[in-house]
Structure 1
Amino acid sequence: MPAGGFSGPAPSGVVFEAKITPLVVISCIMAATGGLMFGYDVGISGGVTSMPDFLSKFFPVVYNRVEDKKAHDSNYCKYDNQGLQLFTSSLYLAGLTATFFASYTTRKLGRRLTMLIAGIFFIFGVILNAAAQDLAMLIVGRILLGCGVGFANQAVPVFLSEIAPTRIRGALNILFQLNVTIGILFANLVNYGTAKIHPWGWRLSLGLAGIPALLLTVGSILVVDTPNSLIERGRFDEGKAVLMKIRGTKNVDPEFNELVEASRIAQEVKHPFRNLLKRRNRPQLVIAVCLQIFQQFTGINAIMFYAPVLFNTLGFKNDASLYSAVITGAVNVLSTLVSIYSVDKVGRRVLLLEAGVQMSISQVVIAIILGIKLKDNGNGLSHGLAIVVVIMVCTFVSSFAWSWGPLGWLIPSETFPLETRSAGQSVTVCVNLLFTFVIAQAFLSMLCHFKFGIFIFFSSWVLVMSLFVLFLLPETKNIPIEEMTERVWKQHWYWKRFMDEEDDEDRNAKKVGKISGYHNSQL
Structure 2
Amino acid sequence: MAEKIVSNEQAVLSHSEAPNKIENGSGDNFAPQKTDVGTQLAEAYEGEIRNPLKGMPRQQLLEDVARFRAEKGLPEDILPYLERGALVAQNPAGFEHVAELEESEKQAIRDEVLHRWRHPWALYYTIVLNSIAAAIQGWDQTASNGANLSFPDALGIPTSGACGPDPNAGLCAKNSWIVGFVNAMPGITITVFAGWVSDPLNHYLGRRGTIWLAAIFSLLAPFGMALSQTWGQLAACRMLLGIGMGLKEVTVPVFSAENSPTNIRGGLVMSWQVWTAFGIFLGTCANLAVGEVGTIGWRLQFGSAFIPAVPLVLGTWFCPESPRWYIKKGRYVNAWNSLVRLRNTKLQAARDLYYIHALLVDEERLIQEAGLKVNSSMFTRFIELFTIPRVRRATWASGVVMIAQQMCGINIISYYSSTIFEQSGVSAHTALWASFGFGAINFVFAWPAVFTMDTWGRRALLLFTFPNMFWSLLTAGLCYLISNEHARIAAVATFVYIFAAFYSPGEGPVPFMYSAEVFPLSHREIGMSWAVATNNFWGSILSLTLPRLLAVFKPVGVFGFYAGLNLVALLMIFVAVPETKQKSLEELDGVFSVPYRKYARYQFGTVLPWWFRRTFLRKRGEVCPELYHNDNDASDVGENSA
- Find the aligned partners of 1:444 and 1:58 in 2 and give their Cα distance: 17
Moved more, 470-479 or 287-296: 470-479
The one-letter code matched in structure 2 to 1:454 is V
Correspondent of 2:508 among 386, 393, 405 = 405
Per-residue deviation at 1:474?
A: 4.0
Segments of 5+ residues of structure 1 without an aligned counterpart are: 1-6, 374-380, 499-509, 515-523
- Find the aligned partners of 2:545 and 2:526 in 1 and give their Cα distance: 29
Contact 2:226 2:299 in 1 (8 A): yes
Equivalent residue of 2:509, what SS? Answer: helix
Per-residue deviation at 1:324?
A: 0.5
Per-residue deviation at 1:61?
A: 2.6
The one-letter code matched in structure 1 to 2:119 is I
Partner of 1:519: none
Equivalent residue of 1:192, what SS? Answer: helix
Segments of 5+ residues of structure 2 without an aligned counterpart are: 1-84, 96-104, 110-117, 369-373, 603-627, 633-642
Partner of 1:33: 132
- Find the aligned partners of 1:249 and 1:94 in 2 and give their Cα distance: 43
The one-letter code matched in structure 1 to 2:121 is P
- Find the aligned partners of 2:398 and 2:331 in 1 and give their Cα distance: 33
Moved more, 341-350 or 473-482: 473-482
Moved more, 113-122 or 364-373: 364-373
Per-residue deviation at 1:476?
A: 4.0
Partner of 2:405: 295
After superposition, residues 86-125 of structure 1 pair within 5 angstroms as: 86-96=181-191, 97-125=193-221
Contact 2:267 2:453 in 1 (8 A): no
- Find the aligned partners of 1:140 and 1:468 in 2 and give their Cα distance: 36
Partner of 1:176: 272
Equivalent residue of 1:345, what SS? Answer: coil
1:58 lines up with 2:155 in the alignment: yes
Contact 2:159 2:167 in 1 (8 A): no
The one-letter code matched in structure 1 to 2:183 is T
Correspondent of 2:536 among 424, 429, 433 = 433
Contact 1:476 1:488 in 2 (8 A): no
Structure 1 pair 370–472 and aligned structure 2 pair: CA distance change class (3 A): same
- Find the aligned partners of 1:240 and 1:441 in 2 and give their Cα distance: 47
After superposition, residues 209-248 of structure 1 pair within 5 angstroms as: 209-248=305-344
Moved more, 128-137 or 96-105: 128-137
Partner of 1:162: 258
- TM normalised by structure 1 equals 0.83
- Find the aligned partners of 1:450 and 1:392 in 2 and give their Cα distance: 20
Correspondent of 1:461 among 565, 572, 587 = 565
Partner of 1:517: none
Give percent identity, aligned residues only.
Answer: 24
Query: Aligned residue pairs: how many?
Result: 482
Partner of 1:449: 552
Equivalent residue of 2:416, what SS? Answer: helix
Residue by residue over 1:390-412, the C-alpha shift from the partner in whole angstroms, topping out at 9 and shown as x without a partner, is 00101111111111111223344
Structure 1 pair 445–72 and aligned structure 2 pair: CA distance change class (3 A): closer
- Find the aligned partners of 1:12 and 1:149 in 2 and give their Cα distance: 41
- Find the aligned partners of 1:328 and 1:402 in 2 and give their Cα distance: 14
- Find the aligned partners of 1:293 and 1:426 in 2 and give their Cα distance: 14
Equivalent residue of 1:322, what SS? Answer: helix
Residue by residue over 1:18-70, the C-alpha shift from the partner in whole angstroms, topping out at 9 and shown as x without a partner, is 8622222222212221101111111111111113xx3332134336449x8xx
The one-letter code matched in structure 2 to 1:34 is A
Partner of 1:134: 230
- Find the aligned partners of 2:490 and 2:154 in 1 and give their Cα distance: 32
1:275 lines up with 2:275 in the alignment: no
The one-letter code matched in structure 2 to 1:455 is F
- Find the aligned partners of 2:160 and 2:389 in 1 and give their Cα distance: 53
- Find the aligned partners of 1:261 and 1:334 in 2 and give their Cα distance: 41
The one-letter code matched in structure 1 to 2:332 is F
Per-residue deviation at 1:489?
A: 6.3
Moved more, 438-447 or 400-409: 400-409
Equivalent residue of 1:82, what SS? Answer: helix
Correspondent of 2:449 among 339, 363, 366 = 339
Structure 1 pair 159–467 and aligned structure 2 pair: CA distance change class (3 A): closer
Contact 1:162 1:228 in 2 (8 A): yes
Partner of 2:351: 254
Contact 2:406 2:539 in 1 (8 A): yes
Per-residue deviation at 1:477?
A: 4.2
Residue by residue over 1:214-268, the C-alpha shift from the partner in whole angstroms, topping out at 9 and shown as x without a partner, is 1211122333322332333343333323332333544433333345556667788
Max Rg structure: 2
- Find the aligned partners of 2:541 and 2:215 in 1 and give their Cα distance: 25
- Find the aligned partners of 1:149 and 1:285 in 2 and give their Cα distance: 21
Per-residue deviation at 1:416?
A: 3.5
Correspondent of 1:85 among 174, 177, 180 = 180
- Which one has a larger percent helix, Structure 1 or Structure 2? 1
- Find the aligned partners of 2:587 and 2:357 in 1 and give their Cα distance: 22
Correspondent of 1:383 among 486, 492, 497 = 486
Contact 1:8 1:166 in 2 (8 A): no
Contact 2:186 2:239 in 1 (8 A): yes
- Find the aligned partners of 2:211 and 2:391 in 1 and give their Cα distance: 29
Per-residue deviation at 1:81?
A: 1.1
Per-residue deviation at 1:422?
A: 3.4
Contact 1:32 1:176 in 2 (8 A): yes
1:313 lines up with 2:419 in the alignment: no
Structure 1 pair 287–90 and aligned structure 2 pair: CA distance change class (3 A): same
Per-residue deviation at 1:281?
A: 3.9
Residue by residue over 1:445-499, the C-alpha shift from the partner in whole angstroms, topping out at 9 and shown as x without a partner, is 111122221111111111112223344444444455666576786497643799x
Contact 1:27 1:219 in 2 (8 A): no
The one-letter code matched in structure 2 to 1:58 is L
Moved more, 351-360 or 262-271: 262-271
Residue by residue over 1:330-361, the C-alpha shift from the partner in whole angstroms, topping out at 9 and shown as x without a partner, is 11011111222223333444432332222221
